[in-house]
Amino acid sequence: MTDPKQTLTFTIEDLTPSKWFKQAEGSSVWVAGYNMHKVPSSTIPAGPQFVDFDAIRAVFIYGSGPYLDTKAVNTQFSDEGLIIVQGISQIESQLPEGAYLLLLAPFDIEGKLGDELAVRQRLSEVIGLLVAFEGRNIAFRHLFDNIHELGKPERSVISPTIDLPFNLPAPNLSQSRLQSIVETDKRISEQAEAVSNRIRLSLRWFEAATYDSDVDAFLKYWIALETLAMPNTTNIQPVNESLAAAYNRSMQEVGQVYHIGRLSDLRNRIVHDGLIASISSPLLDYVAAVYTDVLSQIVGTPCEMKAHKIITEQGIDPLTIIPAIQ
């Protein structure tokens, strides 16, 4: 990258703390790039500025430079189960001159492969910390994630997680099905204003969870459920009551079969005790199904018993997918 007043020549090796690696062979650095705003060149007059966090180096820089842009790649899925990738030839891009934040993290270490999830989580934590204290302009927009192999000219990209549609059910686009969803929307509007507003807010959380993953998606699904069915309290009894009515089962049966209490305990341990839990896709599907069943019961549309079907038709026991609470 180039400062407007002088030419700066450096490599990723120059920016990387020497203590991260004993040898370059088999090692690589994850570089996440963000653009900054309201940062003139005079703020960074003498080249890159560094701040070291635990396992992360933040580099503040003014200039321009090359990077690999995964946003240029378009991924499509065919009905035959093929993944079609387009735009590879446009992946080489050039940053326009400006202010940038680079976050560097050790990835592969002397032949030991890097942990993508752990690095993503650590980068997210540091960005959250920087934005919390300095506002969004310090990392206004995420631009790229590149992997630089030390001692080599090669670069590669880390793309956002790609969800595959092949194992998901096909949508039902029949007029009767779509009209039933429209009817649900009308029924939401017919609720008391406070209830209707709460339901619609819960749907926004549900939408956010749909396009997220792991613990972040779990918490968003839970907030959607809490907003939907637990007014003025975090007591899970209203959720169990809705399921009992929808499934025509006793409260005791609902507690023993659907384990909403265990889901609540998991949420509490994550939020209040800092539990680092691995959340599986089946668990996310289950919480989403519980939400839909409770929504149907609250607005008065036929309940499709989605959570019940996950247990009976897919043979998934909630106890096997909810992480054990120690």
State the CB neighbour count (10 A cutoff) for residue 107: 23
Domain count, the chain: 2
Residue at which a domain ends, from 157, 186, 220: 157
pLDDT tens digits, 49-63: 889 999 999 999 888
Rg (CA), the chain: 24
Residue 235, CA distances (Å) to 206, 223, 232, 267, 310 in order: 20, 13, 9, 13, 24
pLDDT tens by residue, 205-257? 999 998 888 999 999 999 999 999 998 777 899 999 999 999 999 999 999 99
Strand order through the sheet with 155-157: 49-53, 56-68, 92-106, 28-35, 141-149, 155-157
pLDDT at 89 over 60: no
Could you tell me if residue 269 is inside a domain? yes
Range of the domain at 220: 175-321
Q: Answer yes or no: do 219 and 257 share one domain.
A: yes
Residue 166 in any domain: the answer is: no
> What single-letter DSSP state applies at residue 3?
-
CA distance 39 to 56: 22
pLDDT at 4: 42
| Averaged pLDDT, 66-92 | 57
Tell me whether residue 168 is in a domain: no
Q: Is residue 291 scored above 60 in pLDDT?
A: yes
Which residues sit opposite 53 in a β-bridge? 56
> Is 57 in contact with 15 (CB distance < 8 Å)?
yes
List, as one string, the DSSP characters of 92-146. Answer: EEEEEEEEEEEEEEE-SBTTBPP-HHHHHHHHHHHHHHHHHHH-GGGG-EEEEEE
- Per the listing, tokens 């997210």 go with 124
Cβ-Cβ contacts under 8 Å for 139 (sequence gap 6 or more): 34, 36, 101, 127, 130, 131
Residue 326's pLDDT band, with cuts at 50, 70 and 90, is low
pLDDT for 124 equals: 92
Per the domain annotation, does 42 fall within a domain? yes
Q: Which residue has the tokens 């990835």?
A: 107
**Looking at 171-175, 181-185, 297-301, which range is the least confident one?**
171-175
Hey, which residues does 156 pair with through a beta bridge? Answer: 147
Q: In this predicted structure, what is the pLDDT of residue 86? A: 46
Q: Give the pLDDT score at 2.
A: 43
Domain boundary among 106, 122, 157: 157
Quick check: is 261 in a domain? Answer: yes
What pLDDT sits at residue 24? 82
204 lies in the same domain as 127: no
- Tokens standing for 122? 């650590």
Is position 164 within any domain? no
